[in-house]
Amino acid sequence: MGPGASTLTTATTERGLGLLFYPELFTPGRTLGEALVNAKQAYAQINPMAADVLIGYQIMGDPALVLQPE
Domain positions in the chain: 2-6+14-60
Beta bridge partners of 58: 4
Instruction: List all residues 6 or more positions away from 37 whose beta carbon is below 8 Å from its beta carbon.
Output: none
Q: Which three-class secondary structure state does DSSP give residue 6?
A: coil
Across the range 7-34, mean pLDDT stands at 88
What pTM, to 2 d.p., does this model score? 0.85
Residue 6 pLDDT more than 70?
Answer: no
Across the range 57-66, mean pLDDT stands at 89
Q: Are 18 and 8 in contact (CB under 8 A)?
A: no
Percent of the chain with pLDDT over 90: 50
Per-residue model confidence as pLDDT tens digits over 36-61: 999 999 999 999 998 888 888 888 88
